[in-house]
Amino acid sequence: MAMRLEFHEYRPRKIVNVHKHVDGPWFWGKYTAHPYVGCRSGCEFCYARGERYLRRDPATFDTLIGVKVNAVDLLREELPKLARQSGIDVISVGDWQRPAEDRYRLSRGMLEVVRDLGFPLFITERSPLLTRDLDLLTDINTRAWVGVTISMGSVDPALKRAFEPRSPGVRLRLRAIRDLADAGIRVGANLMPVLPFVGDDEAHLEDVVRAVKDHGGAFVLGGGLTMGGVQAQRTLEAFRLFDPALEARVRELYAWKTGGKPQYGPPGPYNARLGLLVRELCARHSILDRMPRYIAPGPLVLNKRIAERLFLKTYDLELEQAKEYRLWAYRKAAWTVDELGESIGDIYAARGEAGLQALPGIGKSIAAQIAEWLAAENDDGE
Ligand code: SF4
């Protein structure tokens, strides 16, 4: 029997979310704006199923698609104001899910706005329908910049059938990577989520890294499975149906007692092992395990470069399983430098490391590290 599908059209008052900090060292975005709520693909592990994101009965996630019919007009109104208040920065817009986007074409309309207003664009997408709009993506990439990650946890058809039976086929997604790469767009894959016990071994991960590389992808980002609310229940059930022995192992990984709640993410050592394995496989196939940050030209380029280094350091520390306080020290320093209104190069030139240490959240050792990076950036610039 065909699944019911309804569209609920409405007109929100606002479309753009402004994040407090850029999403480093992952997607580097500052703004997001999405036209649909709910998703027909209905992947079991999708975190957007949760009430926190959906704000309605999670059971309707894939049968009732909210449609923000004024999304394009709102974006055209809001972006110029944001450019004046917070500056032009990377925005993530759109959602190429079917059949909503075939019918409403709001994502295409939003791309036109991004192109007209000169914003750099980042997209993370599981649907190859994105390449329908290659003309606009190419235009935006010429005027500013476009980065894309195509989502796929693995290239194993058995895992796709079990955990995301209605999402677009993996071969179509790989072809989308090829088309985007051929158009000169920086594209890679995000392996999110990598499924524990069934998709996190070296063979599964190498298959996907190799496939992404063979299709012209420039990077691969690996990320573990999160487990929250109804999404956790559904994902556990999918594991159980795939192999009944997995239920106990998944429960143990997420410290999930019967009748209790799971931890939201896998433990640190698991994440570190996964990140290191992805890093090693990426090196083996000459591909990056981070997406390089886009930095718009302007007087604060150096700040953004130093902030990028600080963010990347937090990721390295996670993989080393360093103490939380060290990660937080680098994260806070990254925010400070990224959001600073004056050039960090000028501050250092005027007052040396003492000037850096006067900035919020920057202590002696991070100041010394920044000074070293500033010297390296200077050498690179000469
Ligand atoms: S395609 Fe993406 S948004 Fe849709 S259900 Fe799957 S993971 Fe969620």
Percent of the chain with pLDDT over 90: 91
For the CA of 45, the closest atom of ligand 1 is: 7
The Å distance, Cα 317 to ligand 1 centre, comes to 30
> Same structural domain for residues 186 and 321?
no
Cα of 160 to ligand 1 centre, how many Å? 12
Q: Could you give the angle at the alpha carbon of 220 between the alpha carbons of 282 and 165, nearest 5°?
A: 125
Q: What is the CATH number of the domain that holds 328?
A: 1.10.150.110
Mean pLDDT of 343-371: 97
Name the nearest CA neighbour of 190 among 145, 225, 242, 230. Answer: 225
Q: What is the three-class DSSP state of 317? A: helix
Structural domain of residue 317, as residue ranges?
A: 301-381
25 and 51 assigned to the same domain: yes
Reduce the DSSP state of residue 143 to 3 states and report it. helix
More confident residue, 87 or 243: 243
Q: Mean pLDDT over residues 103-116, rounded?
A: 98
319 and 212 in a common domain: no
Ligand 1 pocket, CB under 6 A: 39, 41-43, 46, 48, 97, 126, 164, 167
Which atom of ligand 1 is nearest the CA belonging to 127?
A: 1
Do 203 and 89 belong together in one domain?
yes
- Domain assignment present for residue 86? The answer is yes
pLDDT value of position 50: 78
What is the SS3 assignment for the chain? CCCCCEEEEECCCCCCEECCCCCCCCCCCCEEECCEECCCCCCCCCHHHCHHHHCCCHHHCCCEEEEECCHHHHHHHHHHHHHHHCCCCCEEECCCCCCHHHHHCHHHHHHHHHHHHCCCEEEEECCHHHHHHHHHHHHHHHHCCEEEEEECCCCCHHHHHHHCCCCCCHHHHHHHHHHHHHCCCEEEEEEEEECCCCCCCHHHHHHHHHHHHHCCCCEEEEEECCCCHHHHHHHHHHHHHHCCCHHHHHHHHCCCCCCCCCCCCCCHHHHHHHHHHHHHHHHHCCCECCCCCCCCCCCCHHHHHHHHHHHHHHHHHHHCCCCHHHHHHHHHHHHHHHCCCCCHHHHHHHHHHHHHHCCCCCCHHHHHHHHHHHHHHHHHHC
86: CA distance to ligand 1 center in Å? 30
- Asked which of 214, 249, 284 is the last residue of a domain, the reply is 284
Residues in the chain: 382
Q: How far is the CA of 24 from the centre of ligand 1 (A)?
A: 22
Q: Give the pLDDT score at 229.
A: 86
Tokens 């202590």 label which residue?
A: 363
pLDDT tens for each residue of 286-325 = 999 999 999 988 899 999 999 999 999 999 999 999 999 9
Same domain? For 273 and 321 the reply is: no
Same domain, 278 and 332: no
CA–centroid distance, 291 to ligand 1, in Å, is 21
Nearest CA to ligand 1 atom 6: 43
Band of residue 381 on the pLDDT scale cut at 50, 70, 90? low
Ligand 1 atom at shortest distance from the alpha carbon of 42: 5
Residue 213 sits in the same domain as residue 80? yes
CATH, residue 36: 3.20.20.70
Same-domain check for residues 264 and 323: no
Q: What is the pTM (predicted TM-score) of this model?
A: 0.95
Percent of the chain with pLDDT over 70: 99
pLDDT of residue 131: 98
Counting the structural domains of the chain, the total is: 2
Based on the fold, state whether residues 73 and 205 are members of the same structural domain.
yes
Task: Give the pair of three-digit tokens for residue 287.
Answer: 């591909």
Rounded-to-integer distance, Cα 121 and Cα 131, Å: 15
For 44-66, write each residue's pLDDT tens digit.
Answer: 999 898 777 788 888 899 999 99
- Cα 26 to ligand 1 centroid, rounded to whole Å: 19
One domain for residues 278 and 349: no
Mean pLDDT score of the chain: 95
**Residue 40 Cα, ligand 1 centroid: separation in angstroms?**
8
**Does 1 reside within a domain?**
no
pLDDT score of 118: 95
Residue 61 lies in a domain: yes
> Which residue, judged by its Cα, is nearest atom 2 of ligand 1?
126
**What DSSP character marks residue 260?**
S
In a domain, 168, yes or no: yes
Residue 95 within any structural domain of the chain: yes
Q: HSE on the CB side for 235, CA within 13 Å?
A: 25
Weakest-pLDDT range from 115-124, 223-232, 350-359: 223-232
- Estimate the share of the chain in helix, then strand, then coil, as percent rounded to the nearest 5: 50, 10, 35
Does one domain contain both 106 and 239? Answer: yes
What's residue 382's pLDDT? 55
pLDDT at 1 over 70: no
Residue 296 belongs to some domain of the structure: no
Measured CA distances, 239 to 90, 162, 209, 228, 236 (Å) = 36, 8, 23, 15, 5
Q: Is residue 248 part of a domain?
A: yes
Structural domain ending residue among the three candidates 284, 311, 340:
284
Could you tell me the pLDDT band of residue 3, with boundaries at 50, 70 and 90?
Answer: confident
Ligand 1 atom closest to the Cα of residue 126 is 1
Assess whether 233 and 343 both reside in one domain: no
Asked, for residue 294, whether it belongs to a domain, the answer is no
Q: Which atom of ligand 1 is nearest to the CA of 168?
A: 1
Probe ligand 1: pick from 32, 40, 52, 97, max atoms within 8 Å of CB? 97
**What is d(CA 109, CA 15) in angstroms, rounded to the nearest whole number?**
13
pLDDT-derived band at 378 (thresholds 50, 70, 90) equals: confident
